[in-house]
Amino acid sequence: MDQSDNPFEQGERGHTVLVVADNELRRRGLANMLASLEAPIKVNAIVAAHPDRVPCDRLFDLLIVACDDLGAESLDGVVEAARGQGAKILLLIGRGAACLDTVMRLPSNGFLIQDDVTKDALAQALDRMVVGEVPMPGVLANRLLERARGAVARERHDVVRLTPRERETLVLLAEGLSNKQIARRMLISQHGVKRLVASILTKLNCSNRTLAAAMAIRQGLLEEV
């Protein structure tokens, strides 16, 4: 899918969704929730598939994967296909610590606890992903931060230098605040926050906000604020 054809890139309110889950009940439940969404997210087409029968010829702009059902190694192909199409990826994860390995290994744009998924939670997560934010449950954020803190005692090499404004933004980002909340706290525009976040991700060489927060703790960047 060319970038210009991707509804997420265009900001449109109609999406083609691929749901991948081993459990048929979960697949059907997610498909029913998606079909009933109207605002703020509208879904035009849904494909619910067993991981062994993922359609190779269908274009989609959103991939939802129930990771708790599947082994991480079985997700590589479909995740790579999603990335190749420029699709957004929402991972549904379990509560156990084992889910961290999957989260750190697979590229994604958002997370939900699989057992906590409701129609409203799904709609809110997708809406945040559309505007470039990364929805993430608190339990996952805490586990990622705990793992990062375990590495604080290691030697620190090539500590990234951030501007005072970037450092302030990073602290709020690590607290789990959205761009809108950060803008209000810092008394600047959301556009200004987006520029600061983009600069932070570039300097830390991180693909998303979650990894940036973890690296900031590991390198002690938050301690210097």
Q: Is the pLDDT of residue 158 over 60?
A: no
The CATH number given to whatever domain includes residue 63 is 3.40.50.2300
How many angstroms separate the first and last alpha carbons of the chain? 43
Q: Are residues 15 and 123 in the same domain?
A: yes
The CATH number given to whatever domain includes residue 187 is 1.10.10.10
Q: Summarize pLDDT for 8-55 with one digit per residue, the tens.
A: 344 445 788 888 888 888 888 998 999 888 766 777 778 887 777 777
Q: Are residues 154 and 101 in the same domain?
A: no
**Are the C-beta atoms of 213 and 138 separated by less than 8 Å?**
no
**Domain C-terminal end among 105, 135, 165:** 135
**Are the C-beta atoms of 220 and 152 separated by less than 8 Å?**
yes
Amino acid at the residue 191 = H
Q: Provide the sign of the torsion angle of the four alpha carbons 138, 160, 147, 126, taken in this order.
A: positive
Angstrom distance (rounded) from CA 183 to CA 206: 21
Q: Summarize pLDDT for 100-122 with one digit per residue, the tens.
A: 666 677 778 888 888 888 988 99
Which pTM does this prediction carry?
0.58
**Domain C-terminal end among 135, 164, 192:** 135
Residue closest to 69 by CA, chosen among 18, 7, 27, 125: 27
**Are the C-beta atoms of 123 and 104 separated by less than 8 Å?**
no
**Tally of domains within the chain:** 2
**Domain C-terminal end among 135, 152, 186:** 135
**Are the C-beta atoms of 58 and 40 separated by less than 8 Å?**
no
Q: Are residues 111 and 155 in the same domain?
A: no
Q: Are residues 123 and 159 in the same domain?
A: no
Give the range of the structural domain holding residue 64, as residue numbers without chain letter.
3-135
Alpha helices in the chain (DSSP H): 7-10, 24-35, 76-84, 99-105, 119-130, 138-149, 164-174, 179-186, 190-204, 209-218
Alpha helices in 15-137 (DSSP H): 24-35, 76-84, 99-105, 119-130
Q: Summarize pLDDT for 46-93 with one digit per residue, the tens.
A: 888 777 777 767 788 888 888 765 555 567 777 777 877 888 889 888
